Structure 1
Amino acid sequence: MKCAKIERILPDNLLKEIQKYIQGEYIYVPYQLKERKKWGEHSGSRANIQARNEKIRTKYKNGYKVKDLAEEFYLSVESIKKIVYVRNK
């Protein structure tokens, strides 16, 4: 985290406005105000899991049993049920 003198960065009118709210304290200003990505979006894990879940749903619709899907995808029977029985949002 880099520290900087506020007098060098902000115009006087903005500095005076900030001083109305806080004096003699440290203020943290975030680096960027971007929307954060959800878990797994950056690495691609989220997309991989969604693709896997779609394969599971397709196989279930084609007659595969929950127990067989659990063994094939190395998941618990309860996890397969959650994937198969979830309503699409």
Structure 2
Amino acid sequence: MAREDNYDQLQLLLSSLLEPIPHNSVKEIWKLQEPKQKYRLRIGYTKKALDLAIWANRVEEFVSHLKNFIEVTKTNLFSTQDSTSVKDPL
């Protein structure tokens, strides 16, 4: 278990490393990381849902829900596009 003083040391080290970098640059780097973090979070939920489906012996039901979601979403997305656009990029 990490002790509080170890945590404080890591914060001080990070702070000293970031100090010479302009604040706006740090914000730009953070903005680049946000989409990756959001993707990882969502993949994590997907993995948890699949694990639960496997554990509960309900994989077919889970896959059925995914297929339904994909079809409904594709229908909704592509019904709003004009006829000259690509219909199914997948």
TM-score, normalised to structure 2's length?
Answer: 0.28
> Would you tell me which structure has more helix in proportion to its own residues?
2
Q: Which has the higher contact order (CA 8 A, sep 6+)?
A: 1
**Structure number with larger C-alpha Rg:** 1
